[in-house]
Amino acid sequence: MNEAATVVPVSDAIFMTENIWIMISAMLVFIMGLGFACVEAGLVRAKCAANVAFKNIAVPAIGITMYAAIGFALMYPGTFNAISGVLGFAGFGIGDWADPSKFTAAYNGHFTLFTDWLFQAMFAATAATIVSGAVAERVKLNSFLVFTIVYVALVYPIVGSWTWGGGWLSTIGKAGFHDLAGSTLVHSVGGWAALAGVMILGPRIGKYVGGKVHAIPAHNIPLATIGVFMLWFGWWGFNAGSALSGDPKATSWILVTTNLAAVAGIITATLTSWIVSKKPDATMALNGCLAHRWCARSRCSLHVRPPALG
């Protein structure tokens, strides 16, 4: 089902430039981990900040390890030999280190296999972090770490394979299902996992007392603001890098859409909270930036995968 795409030859200069762009994009996605840590730590109570910080350093460590060991080969299996279009596996590890074609334009014309893995591994590390914010102050640390192992090793890559790996979603309709930068495969799936988690865990202790709602204020708004700016910075690589090339039209279009969506979210959330609460709320502005920015991805369906591993 997942046949290797035809590789269009490019010059060494173009190949090197595009390979560098994807590596830079991976670095920008990586720095989003700091953004998530600052946002979550700033918006919880001071006594929970250390727990949040530990989760946000543990998630990339676990996520990158699991993605190298099994996740990448599940996400890009080459063929879906177990259940047609639903599950396939290319074998443990990243790929054949001895194959010189994996390091040249012969891989897919844009970047090497290992640059591809690096970029995708940053997505995998981000996937579980989405859940971390939703269950902050609700879940024990050891339970969340176990969840992260299962989620990044199995859940995220298998669902991701259905579109990016050439699975059943990629064959729907005439053009197949497209997902730029994981608006569905990363954030929607993470959102569903987060919803399941909060339904099981219930509200934070002290949130509802005597039938009344009690606000639990954030302890450090400046820290949360720094985190949002770090995430905004990381989106430039997360979204524009997902064009999977240095194509000027695609990358510039995605960057403009991303930034317009972010500022629209800030303005909309600020005005809404001001009208409803009769005063501006910094946390609503921050969340408006985060929430509306994800919507930018639905405007740019450009995510095209390189040849499969198998």
Average pLDDT score, the chain: 85
Domain span including residue 52: 12-299
Q: Which of 69, 66, 185 is nearest to 130 (CA)?
A: 185
| Alpha-carbon span 129 to 119, nearest angstrom | 16
What percent of the chain has a predicted confidence (pLDDT) above 70?
A: 90
The stretch 76-91 carries a mean pLDDT of 78
Residue 2 lies in a domain: no
Q: Is 6 exposed, middle or buried, given 0-12, 13-18 or 19+ CB atoms closer than 10 A?
A: exposed
Residue 39 lies in a domain: yes
- CATH number for the domain that contains residue 295: 1.10.3430.10
Q: What is the pLDDT of residue 235?
A: 92
Residue 167 lies in a domain: yes
Residue 308 lies in a domain: no
Query: 12-16, 28-32, 234-238 — which is least confidently predicted?
Result: 12-16
Q: Is the pLDDT of residue 176 over 50?
A: yes
Q: Show Cβ contacts of residue 37 under 8 Å, excluding neighbours closer than 6 positions.
A: 52, 53, 56, 57, 227
Is residue 165 a contact partner of residue 90, using CB atoms and an 8 Å limit? no
How many structural domains is the chain composed of?
A: 1
Q: What is the pLDDT of residue 82?
A: 58
Residue 18 lies in a domain: yes
Residue 309 lies in a domain: no
The stretch 36-52 carries a mean pLDDT of 91
Radius of gyration of the CA atoms of the chain, in A: 20
The stretch 285-297 carries a mean pLDDT of 75
Residue 306 lies in a domain: no
Is residue 230 a contact partner of residue 29, using CB atoms and an 8 Å limit? no
Residue 5 lies in a domain: no
pTM score? 0.85
